[in-house]
């Protein structure tokens, strides 16, 4: 009777429980990982993404591939969310996160088949966290200007040719160093379809695709005061709908004269506050243009909010809503303002009084080339900014993951329970990263994994790794193959949490129809 009642309650719902649910979830994770694993490393291959309308995209950026794919499987969606969090936080390591999560789940499923309960496996995986954190701290070395650039360059491995990688790494590194804040938002990125990537440049200031509102306004070659107006300079309109009845022709002119006087009064307020430049988010009345020019005030209008935010960071200004309520702390300062014409389009360059505002202009011959360069630059900039916040480096070439696996296996020997098997599975999952790196380079993954493991043991150094470009095992520091500590730490932590979340699911329910009021619910 009870079973019949349960079946009636779940009528219209498809259910998968127990080990079958785990197998289904692991299959979804593995399918997603297989879609991006060939993009990992400097020898990774590209993916051609074709949309429903015939558009296409060629990329080897893991998070771009995952977000472009149409995925319905719930576990796969969880992994995409994890990779997105990795990208938002550190801008790199998204492919490693997905691959590592899938490997952790595959190893967990093997243990479940051998009779180990998922709760025990999850407990063993959590035991790995403190060991991984301690080991990473022991392996990491402080970054300097040269090694920081090497790390940014490593993050671009496999993305375009060597010339593209060198140029984007240089721009990203210099932009992060120029702002010194470790914040990606302090760098504005513009794309120009002209020239080649090598013509891209870093401009110490904020570039707006704008021209001054009146040609008689003088540009500012010296320092001055700037006001950011979160509104416009326009004729005041009544707050309520009104109608005017004009009885003589002189009244019209008098009305317009009062409007002009109102505009002039607002311009006089700007002049009294010693404003040299005003940037408005909305419009500036045509009649106000000559008034501003006569007052020696440079003006720009209809500037988008993201651009205003960049200007505020660069000049120290704070947006104001009313000209009549200007406080001295709202006014920013600039070093100079100049205009340049790029391919027939006016651009204005604001050099701020603060270092928290630079512009990187990416140039390329095609839209597709610019899109891929933009994605690669954003990743490189994220890595460069991470190193400003936490200047610690780890060896690349799979060296870190192999060193962690070796340490975890020694730690597993001290655990008496079945968690020892889970720790062994965690170590094996970490080794998937160097295996895939070797596989994507056309090498034998098992041979290279054993070779690097032996090299670390012989040299008693975790910095021995595989140089994919030469095919040799070498010191990753000397080979300039390094990566930020924060990227690896976040990737491993994110993959661990994602795998544990999936392991804790033992029942999957799919509703076949929209929710309805159950027949057995009593009416009031």
Match 């995209």 to its residue by tokens: 57
CB atoms within 10 A of CB 126: 15
Half-sphere exposure of 146 (CA within 13 A, CB side): 4
CA distance 503 to 426: 14
C-alpha distances in angstroms, 8 versus 3, 520, 523?
Answer: 9, 9, 19
Rounded to the nearest 10 degrees, how much is the dihedral formed by the CA atoms of 207, 209, 214, 219? 20
Rounded to the nearest 10 degrees, how much is the dihedral formed by the CA atoms of 269, 271, 277, 282? 20
CB atoms within 10 A of CB 98: 32
Instruction: Reply yes or no on whether 61 is catalytic.
Output: yes
Burial (CB count <10 Å: 0-12, 13-18, 19+), residue 24: middle
CA distance 147 to 481: 9
Rounded to the nearest 10 degrees, how much is the dihedral formed by the CA atoms of 227, 229, 234, 239? -140
CA distance 476 to 394: 9
Catalytic residue among 92, 150, 379, 467: 379
CA distance 520 to 296: 79
Q: Can you say how many angstroms the Cα of residue 502 is from the centroid of all Cα atoms in its chain?
A: 25
Question: Which residues, 6 or more positions from 469, have their beta carbon under 8 angstroms from its beta carbon?
Answer: 42
| DSSP alpha helix (H) spans, 10-117 | 18-36, 62-68, 74-90, 94-113
List the beta bridge partners of residue 190.
361
Residues 430 and 453: beta-carbon distance below 8 Å: no
Measured N-to-C along each axis, helices 118-139 and 419-430 cross at an angle, to the nearest 10 degrees, of 50
Q: Can you say how many angstroms the Cα of residue 319 is from the centroid of all Cα atoms in its chain?
A: 26
For 37, which DSSP code?
Answer: G
Instruction: Reply yes or no on whether 95 is catalytic.
Output: yes
Catalytic residue among 39, 59, 61, 467: 61
Q: What φ, ψ does residue 368 adopt, rounded to 5°?
A: -65, -40
Q: 335: helix, coil or strand?
A: strand
CA distance 296 to 175: 33
Catalytic residue among 39, 75, 82, 94: 94
CA distance 337 to 298: 9
Helix, strand, coil fractions of the chain, as percent rounded to 5:
50, 15, 30
Catalytic residue among 95, 359, 400, 488: 95
Q: What φ, ψ does residue 159 adopt, rounded to 5°?
A: -105, 95
C-alpha distances in angstroms, 258 versus 234, 236, 238, 245, 247?
Answer: 13, 11, 14, 17, 17
| Residues catalogued as catalytic | 61, 94-95, 379
């Amino acid at each position: 009777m009870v079973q019949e009642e349960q079946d009636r309650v779940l009528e219209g719902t498809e259910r998968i429980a127990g080990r079958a649910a785990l197998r289904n979830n692991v299959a979804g994770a593995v399918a997603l990982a297989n879609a991006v694993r060939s993009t990992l490393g400097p020898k990774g291959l590209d993916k051609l993404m074709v949309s429903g309308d015939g558009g296409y995209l060629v990329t080897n950026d893991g998070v771009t591939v995952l977000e472009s794919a149409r995925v319905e499987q719930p576990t796969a969606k969880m992994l995409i969310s994890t990779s997105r969090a990795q990208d938002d936080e550190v801008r790199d390591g998204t492919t490693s996160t997905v691959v590592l999560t899938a490997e952790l789940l595959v190893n967990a499923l093997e243990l479940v088949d051998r009779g180990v309960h998922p709760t025990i496996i999850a407990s063993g995986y959590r035991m790995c966290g403190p060991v991984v954190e301690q080991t990473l701290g022991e392996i990491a070395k402080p970054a300097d200007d040269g090694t920081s650039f090497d790390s940014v360059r490593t993050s671009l491995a496999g993305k375009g040719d060597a010339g593209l990688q060198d140029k984007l790494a240089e721009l990203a590194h210099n932009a992060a160093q120029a702002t010194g804040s470790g914040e990606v938002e302090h760098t504005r990125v513009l794309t120009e379809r002209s020239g080649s990537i090598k013509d891209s440049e870093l401009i110490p200031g904020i570039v707006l695709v704008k021209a001054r509102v009146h040609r008689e306004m003088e540009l500012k070659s010296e320092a001055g005061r700037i006001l950011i107006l979160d509104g416009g300079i326009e004729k005041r309109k009544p707050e309520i709908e009104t109608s005017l009845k004009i009885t003589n022709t002189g009244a019209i002119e008098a009305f317009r004269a009062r409007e002009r006087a109102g505009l002039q009064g607002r311009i006089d307020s700007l002049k009294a506050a010693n404003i040299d430049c005003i940037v408005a988010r909305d419009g500036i009345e045509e009649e106000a243009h000559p008034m501003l020019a006569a007052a020696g005030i440079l003006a720009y209008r209809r500037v988008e909010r993201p651009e205003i935010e960049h200007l505020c960071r660069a000049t120290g200004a704070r947006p104001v809503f009313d000209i009549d309520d200007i406080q001295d702390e709202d006014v920013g300062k600039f070093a100079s303002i100049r205009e340049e014409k790029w391919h027939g389009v006016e651009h204005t360059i604001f050099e701020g009084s603060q270092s928290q505002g630079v512009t990187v202009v990416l140039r390329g011959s095609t839209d597709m080339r610019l899109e891929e360069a933009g994605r690669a630059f954003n990743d490189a900039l994220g890595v460069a900014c991470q190193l400003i916040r936490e200047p610690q480096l780890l060896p690349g070439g799979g060296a870190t993951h192999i060193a962690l696996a070796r340490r975890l296996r020694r730690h597993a020997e001290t655990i008496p329970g079945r968690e020892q098997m889970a720790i062994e599975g965690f170590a094996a999952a970490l080794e998937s990263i160097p295996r895939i790196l070797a596989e994507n380079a056309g090498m034998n993954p098992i041979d290279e994994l054993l070779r690097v493991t032996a090299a670390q043991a012989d040299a008693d150094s975790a910095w021995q790794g595989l140089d994919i470009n030469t095919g040799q095992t070498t010191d990753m520091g000397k080979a300039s193959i390094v990566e930020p500590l924060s990227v690896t730490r976040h990737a491993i932590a994110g993959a661990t949490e994602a795998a544990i979340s999936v392991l804790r699911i033992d029942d999957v329910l799919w509703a076949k129809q929209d929710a309805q009021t159950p027949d057995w619910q009593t009416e009031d």
